[in-house]
Amino acid sequence: MTTTARVRERTPARGRPGRLRRAVHVTLVSLLLLVAGCGDGGFSGLYNAPLPGGADLGDRPYRVTVRFQDVLDLVPQAAVKVSDVAVGRVERVRLADDGKTALADLAVNGDIALPANAEAELRQSSLMGEKFVELRPPGDGGGRGSLGDGDVIPLDRTNRNPQVEEVLGALSLLLNGGGVEQLRDIVGELNNALAGNEPELKALLTRVDELATTLDSQRGEIVRAIEGVHRLSGTLSKQRGQLATALDHLEPGLKVVSGQREQLVGMLTSLRKLSSTGTRVVNASKQSLVANLEALTPTLEKLAETGADLPKAMQLLPSYPIPVFGESIVHGDYANVSVRLDLQLDAILENVLNARRPPVQLPHDDGTGAEGAIPFNDGNAPPPLPLPDASRPLTAPQGSGEQSGDGGVGGLVGGLLGGG
């Protein structure tokens, strides 16, 4: 009885460790299954489990792929924010096909509207906080289209902020044998250079301020000049072929000019001598030239007074002897002319008779008290007399052999006309 009781007392003690081992085995198997299901082809484990407090994707989220140069330690389930407001999450981070860049697949709430040319930036929530992806419109404000499901944000529209480790590493490099010693030398040299030169430095700063003010006032002209240079460079870029051809053919021309160097130098020397001679001539004749110009002033004033009459008169000079209106007279090989001939036979006869008279003698005193006569007009023929008065009848001179009175005149006129 005693032995049997002892066996019964030890049996429950042996059963408790067995149950504990079975519980441990089940836990280990569950953990192994959980870890084994973390691959891409099977169960993805906790990465697909929604985190508490995550972004609401809504009923119709859209997927966007972002290409980064470096995703650092970005992990799935990281937040996707717009203006620091969570609007989605990172579903997957993978290596791109080129093996140099990384791809991040994002799920964004369908109610969030972003332009098709949106930009993505990898940021950090705090100094030691988690990484997240920030989506924003382009910096220039020129948003176009709409970002939709399946779109890809390329590498040129992505960026990342510097990491704390990078900043601390750069600071450590600067402090540990970096540029601190050089910075101290630079500051010391600046102090030595500026010591005692305070007035000049103040004047320099004043002039710099004036220069900056002047440049700011001419900002529009500077911008236009830069734009003009940009257009010129564009034109030159389009004519690159012509410029290359011109430069290629410039060498033969330079050889010709180089071969004629002596002639060119001689020409320039002669031109210098000519200019020196011309200068001396102008200086020597300056007063005469000024006087001639002053004498020409009245003529120019009279020409100016003619106004529009002088150009009209000059129109007749090239058409002399037929005026510009001669086309109304000459028609081809014939001309229509209306002529009025006023023939006064009495005046003609008077001129003929006066031509036969002796020179007119004028009395004069030669200084001796005796009157004499000198020929008029040095003995030449007298000038034509005035036309006779129509109220006085013409009479022939006495002793000339012609009949006097109307009969003589009439007979002469009749003889000229063919009468008796």
pLDDT digits (tens, 9 = 90+) for 233-254: 999 999 988 888 888 888 888 8
With 0-12 / 13-18 / 19 or more C-beta atoms within 10 angstroms meaning exposed / middle / buried, residue 117 is: middle
Highest mean pLDDT among 14-18, 200-204, 226-230, 338-342: 226-230
Highest mean pLDDT among 172-186, 259-273, 293-307: 259-273
The pLDDT value given to residue 154? 92
Q: How far apart are CA 179 and CA 186, in angstroms?
A: 10
Give me the count of residues in the chain: 420
Distance of CA 215 to the CA centre of its chain: 19
Residue 184 scores a pLDDT above 80: no
CA distances, 28 to each of 15, 34, 37 (Å): 21, 10, 14
Per-residue confidence band for 411, with pLDDT thresholds at 50, 70 and 90: very low
CB atoms inside a 10 Å sphere around CB 329: 13
Q: Go through 41-58 and write b for each residue having 16 or more CB atoms within 10 A of its CB, e for each that does not.
A: eeeeeeeeeeeeeebebe
**Strands 85-95 and 62-68, sheet pairing:** unpaired
Residue 218 scores a pLDDT above 50: yes
CA distances, 255 to each of 72, 251, 260, 263 (Å): 63, 6, 9, 14
Q: In this predicted structure, which of 37-46, 106-115, 135-144, 341-350 has the lowest mean pLDDT?
A: 37-46
The pLDDT value given to residue 108? 93
305-323 mean pLDDT: 74
CB atoms inside a 10 Å sphere around CB 131: 19
Q: How far apart are CA 92 and CA 106, in angstroms?
A: 7
The pLDDT value given to residue 216? 92
108-126 mean pLDDT: 88
Query: What would the pLDDT profile of 128-142 be if each residue is shown by its tens digit?
Result: 778 899 998 887 777
12-21 mean pLDDT: 53
Higher pLDDT, 298 or 381: 298
342, 348, 350, 351 alpha-carbon torsion, rounded to 10°: 120
Q: In this predicted structure, which of 51-60, 207-216, 373-382 has the lowest mean pLDDT?
A: 373-382
Higher pLDDT, 182 or 220: 220
251-269 mean pLDDT: 89
What is the three-state SS of the chain? Answer: CHHHHHHHHHHHHHHHHHHHHHHHHHHHHHHHHHHHCCCCCCCCHHHHCCCCCCCCCCCCCEEEEEEECCCCCCCCCCEEEECCEEEEEEEEEEECCCCCCEEEEEEECCCCCCCCCCEEEEEECCCCCCEEEEEECCCCCCCCCCCCCCEEECHHHEEECCCHHHHHHHHHHHHCCCCHHHHHHHHHHHHHHHCCCHHHHHHHHHHHHHHHHHHHHCHHHHHHHHHHHHHHHHHHHHCHHHHHHHHHHHHHHHHHHHHCHHHHHHHHHHHHHHHHHHHHHHHHCHHHHHHHHHHHHHHHHHHHHHCCHHHHHHCCCCCCCCCHHHHHCEECCEECCCCCCCCCHHHHHHHHHHHCCCCCEEEEECCCCCEEEEEHHHHCCCCCCCCCCCCCCCCCCCCCCCCCHHHHHHHHHHHHHCCC
Q: How far apart are CA 56 and CA 84, in angstroms?
A: 15
Any bridge partners for residue 371, and if so which? 365
Q: In this predicted structure, which of 80-94, 144-158, 326-340, 354-368 has the lowest mean pLDDT?
A: 354-368
With 0-12 / 13-18 / 19 or more C-beta atoms within 10 angstroms meaning exposed / middle / buried, residue 133 is: buried
The pLDDT value given to residue 25? 58
The pLDDT value given to residue 139? 77
With beta carbons less than 8 A apart as the criterion, state whether 146 and 113 touch: yes
Maximum distance among all alpha carbons in the chain? 223
The pLDDT value given to residue 80? 92
Residue type, 176: N
Domain-by-domain residue ranges, the chain? 53-161, 285-338
Any bridge partners for residue 80, and if so which? 88, 133
The pLDDT value given to residue 66? 93
